[in-house]
A = this chain, B = another copy of it.
Amino acid sequence: HSGLCDRPKNTNVRLSLPAVCFVWQIAMIILFGIFIRYDEESDAHWIEHRKHKNISSDIENDFYFRYPSFQDVHVMIFVGFGFLMTFLKRYSFGGVGFNFLIAAFGLQWALLMQGWFHSLDYTDGKIKIGIENLINADFCVAGCLIAYGAILGKVSPVQLMVLTLFGITLFAVEEFIILNLIHARDAGGSMVIHTFGAYYGLSISAMLYRPNLDQSSALHGSVYHSDVFAMIGTLYLWMFWPSFNSAITDHGDAQHRAAINTYLALAATVLTTMAISSLFQKHGKLDMVHIQNSTLAGGVAVGTAAEFMLMPYGSLIVGFCCGIISTLGYIYLTPFMEKYLKIQDTCGIHNLHGMPGVIGGIVGAITAAAASEAVYGQEGLINTFDFVGDFKDMVPSKQGGHQAAGICVAVCFGIGGGVIVGGILRLPIWGDPADDSCFDDEPYWELPEDEESIPPIVQYNNHMRNKDVVESNFSMEQH
């Protein structure tokens, strides 16, 4: 193996990338043709269904309950994650562009994988999809985009497609185990999405460890405007996180409460992130890396418990702690992990998704275990924790244990899956960049000419300056 790996790198993906795209897209078309149909609420028979079920108005179609949240989630996936990854000085195309590619592929495969587990109509063997499936597909993709953050700039687009194919598959299985078999609740995906995604990405990054990555250190940083671009991603993730955590909760109070809890947790995180960032820098200066990332940790950590009666002050406490932990992670843990654990984490996903995700799972377990009829009301308790069907005899304390079990499943799937997929991605056939051309768009993108080539007006000053230099040479020469 090692012999193969030592060959000079060939980053030409002219055959492999189109081949993967075409083959997988055609597979999607065939599988969608066999399996996927509209559900009752998006099928033209809705009008008959509505009369049959005595639904009084079109506004009761699930579309109107969830479409605004869906679009917010959609923005988070494509603009939020995409622009957050534009912070590198010369990897903005790759950050936003490859994010676009793998999200667009991943959501199709997610509709199938999640459909088989959750939306299969056994009467005709078809998956019936509606707006909630689209949201779940976006959620599923989020797991892979988180993983991308750890290896940003160090892999080829073909590797990302492979990461996504396996990532979505693992996600759907893990999600089925956690939500259906274990019966844990996880509205905002602290466990299912963030914990899984983070450890999946970190394990892959460990498998793809590059001892000589410092050869790319000149490109491993931001410039002024790339940091401003990244703030677009940060803010859209921050603003729409209440929609993320409330998008698939129950209609009514659960969506309402999840939005409020997330809004509050995120607000508290901003303050503690700024505080820690300033406190641990010379001269008290704020670091853009922290502001871009750690301000979001509260949204991750409140994901599981957002639909519970966490109470407004509970949300603030969760956000408060996660801002501190996440920022300290960037300052101390990320360098430690790179040096001693050989894990290179480009975007610091362990600080933004890993630790806050696990904390979110724990907060969820505690909040569930502490639930009572006094706080939720009898019907409220049953609704919130879905104590119906096979689980109608469940009690909150036991639910807390199930929640905790969910965290373990998410971590195990993340690490296990990441090690296997990382091993596959080490094969020398994927077109990954050499150590000295990481964090660089050049291998995979046609780049525009340098800004220096901007002519007339703008170049005027440059021209003058050069002229001065030349003239000063002349004058010196004449001495």
Contact = CB atoms under 8 A, between A and B. Distances in A.
Interface in A289-330: 291, 295, 309, 311-313, 316-317, 320
Interface in A437-479: 437, 440, 442-458, 460-462, 465-466, 469-470, 472-474, 476-477, 479
A252 interface: yes
A52 to B, nearest CB: 11
Interface stretch (A144-152, A272-280, A357-365, A415-423): A272-280
Contacts of A65: 58-59, 64
Nearest to A76: B239
A86 to B, nearest CB: 6
Given A239-B75, A252-B61, A442 B455 contact: no
A173 B477 CA distance: 74
A85 to B, nearest CB: 11
Nearest to A16: B284
Interface in A252-278: 252-253, 255-257, 259-260, 263-264, 266-268, 270-272, 274-276, 278
Nearest to A56: B56
Contact of A25 (B104, B271, B383): B271
Copies of this protein, total? 3
Contact of A281 (B14, B105, B235, B479): B14
A371 to B, nearest CB: 9
B256 A446 contact: no
A58 B208 CA distance: 49
A444 B286 contact: yes
B59 A64 contact: yes
Interface string A38-59: 1001111111101000001111
Contacts of A413: none
B448 A221 contact: yes
Nearest to A320: B25
Interface stretch (A87-95, A180-188, A341-349): A87-95
Nearest to A324: B22
A317 to B, nearest CB: 6
A64 to B, nearest CB: 7
Given A38-B257, A283-B12, A24 B461 contact: no
Contacts of A104: 266-268, 270-271, 295
A375 B48 CA distance: 13
14 contacts: A12-B283, A12-B284, A56-B57, A61-B251, A71-B239, A71-B240, A104-B268, A130-B260, A225-B226, A226-B448, A286-B445, A442-B456, A450-B460, A453-B461
Closest 3 CB pairs of A and B: A14-B284, A44-B380, A46-B253
